[in-house]
Amino acid sequence: MTFLFFQMGNTRWAVASGNHTAVTHFFFEPFSDVLEVQVALFFLVLLMYLTTMWGNLLIITISVIDPALHSPMYFFLRNLSFLEIAYTSSTIPKFLVNSFAKDKGISFVGCAMQMYFFGLLGVTECCLLTAMAYDRYVAICHPLRYTTMISHTVCLQLSGVCWFLGVLVNVWQTTFIFTLPFCGPNMINHFFCDLLPVLKLACVDTFRNEIYIYIVAVVFVMVPFLLILVSYAWILHTIFSIPSAEGRRKTFSTCFSHLLVVTLFYVPGMVTYLIPKSIHSHNSNKFLSLFYSVMSPMMNPLIYSLRNKEVKQALRRLISRKRSF
């Protein structure tokens, strides 16, 4: 089949056999039409993105170089840091490029790829945070069996399952959306190709797709979150049974960083994908998405490094080793 391309305003069409049309490009609506707001947002997001890259790369470097951090907990933390780098990079560079571009667009295939990788990394992170909660549960509730229950092989298997689920879910989900007909309009009320804003542009009834997205959100957002809560219920039960207050404080401090990261990641995601659209606006969705796509990844290394004594000691050793050369 041959296509004839033409453009009217911000809409690029491909005309095929008869009156059939298909959108070949999408365009993003800006956060604001005020130039000063766009400039301020650009530099704020750029600063957060660079901080995210630097902080997470530092966590990966320290945990790889320092033998004291070659434990299951830091194996998962390295994976989380790598995920945060990839997760943020799937959307933010395009947002920064589009901030001052006249044509704030993305190709049909590029939009599908962006949605796929953002969803893959998001689902994988949900599962990985659950695996990290399981690691903390075994370490605190079954310390004598920790080395056998959380071996290097088990860590690799848990990590592999997280990535496999992310790939599997999003191959199907992205295909399910991008095989729908898109025949205009093509203006996405978002700063990246997120599920619901793109689905809104399809020229057919999308009720089944919306139900599927909701089911995926329940299974891969709510279920992992509930498993994390159950893990921490057992952890808190064990902590309260420790006789000394100092022992309880030290034990809980090893879990607080992970709990804070879980809260920063899950709460905005649940508001975006599980709360009915009538309750919150598309603009609030954009700001929530900006929060969990750049703010949460930026905070993770700060949370783990500022509250984690082992990470701070490893960082000091790394700095002193560099000074000795």
Judge whether 12 lies within some domain.
Answer: no
Average pLDDT in the chain:
84
Judge whether 320 lies within some domain.
Answer: no
Task: Look up the pTM and report it.
Answer: 0.86
Listed residue (10, 122, 98) closest to 46, CA to CA: 98
Q: Are 180 and 209 in contact (CB under 8 A)?
A: yes
Least trusted range by pLDDT, from 17-31, 82-96, 189-203 = 17-31
How far, rounded to the nearest angstrom, does the alpha carbon of residue 232 sit from its chain's CA centroid? 22
Q: Count structural domains, the chain.
A: 1
Q: What are phi and psi of 278, to 5 degrees?
A: -65, -20
* Separation CA 183–CA 201 (nearest Å): 8
Judge whether 10 lies within some domain.
Answer: no
Range of 125's domain? 25-297
Q: Residue 139 is part of a domain; what is its CATH number? A: 1.20.1070.10
Confidence of residue 198 (pLDDT cuts 50, 70, 90): very high
- Give the model's pLDDT for residue 29: 87
Judge whether 64 lies within some domain.
Answer: yes
Judge whether 8 lies within some domain.
Answer: no
**86-136 per-position pLDDT tens digit:** 999 999 999 999 888 878 889 999 999 999 999 999 999 999 999 999 999
Average pLDDT over residues 238-258: 81
Average pLDDT over residues 205-221: 88
Judge whether 252 lies within some domain.
Answer: yes
Q: Is the pLDDT of residue 17 over 70?
A: no
- Give the model's pLDDT for residue 5: 37
Q: Is the pLDDT of residue 281 over 70?
A: no
- On the CB side of 53, how many CA atoms lie within 13 Å of its CA? 9
* Strand, helix or coil for residue 227: helix
Q: Is the pLDDT of residue 245 over 70?
A: yes
Judge whether 310 lies within some domain.
Answer: no
Cβ neighbours for 206, distance < 8 A, ≥ 6 positions apart:
180, 199, 200
- Give the model's pLDDT for residue 169: 92
Confidence of residue 32 (pLDDT cuts 50, 70, 90): confident
Q: Is the pLDDT of residue 292 over 70?
A: yes
Rg value, the chain, Cα: 22
Least trusted range by pLDDT, from 9-13, 57-61, 156-160, 319-323 = 9-13
Judge whether 4 lies within some domain.
Answer: no
Confidence of residue 20 (pLDDT cuts 50, 70, 90): very low
